[in-house]
Amino acid sequence: MSSANETKLSILLVEDDANDIELTRRAFERNRLANMFLVARDGAEALEMLFGTSGDWPHPVLSDLQLILLDLNLPKVSGLEVLRQIRADDRTKLIPVVVLTSSDEERDVMESYGLGANSYVRKPIGFDQFVEAVRELGLYWLVLNKTVRRD
């Protein structure tokens, strides 16, 4: 089995909380799970990164995108709307999307899965638990899970 470093994996984290961004980045770096770790700090920025306005796709930075970690409670455009647009577009509909959020509301879980989320994970509160959860997500989605190649 090839390692994540050999396959040039990239992750897009859509998150507005600076602490959660840093914790997630450190967890992926510590476990050497991705070559490129991209961050969008709100839903509008995520959509711009994914679809752009130039019409050029795939965006060079996102050509090896293997995973999107998506918060729901985002400024400008909600995480659910970002997910809706990801799944509605043929260019992005097969990219695994893991909702990583503090929301434990049943309606958020149901709507996320209804819109095509691959997984729904509630953010652990403690530092060690958060880092471990992110590590496990990375191992599963980037190393163990088989994805569809998008050319």
* Cα torsion 47, 19, 135, 63: sign: positive
Max Cα distance, the chain (Å): 41
* Residue ranges of the chain with per-residue pLDDT less than 50: 1-6
- Write out the H or E segment, with its range, that includes residue 88: helix 79-88
Contact 13, 40 (CB under 8 A): yes
Give tens-digit pLDDT for 32-59: 776 778 899 999 999 988 887 655 555 6
Contact 50, 62 (CB under 8 A): yes
Contact 13, 36 (CB under 8 A): no
Please report the pLDDT score of residue 5 as a whole number: 41
Instruction: Give me the domains of the chain, ranges plus CATH numbers.
Output: 4-144 (3.40.50.2300)
Between CA 3 and CA 143 the distance in angstroms is 7
Residue 58 tokens read as 């795939």
Please state the pTM of the whole predicted model. Answer: 0.84
Please report the pLDDT score of residue 112 as a whole number: 96
Please report the pLDDT score of residue 70 as a whole number: 96
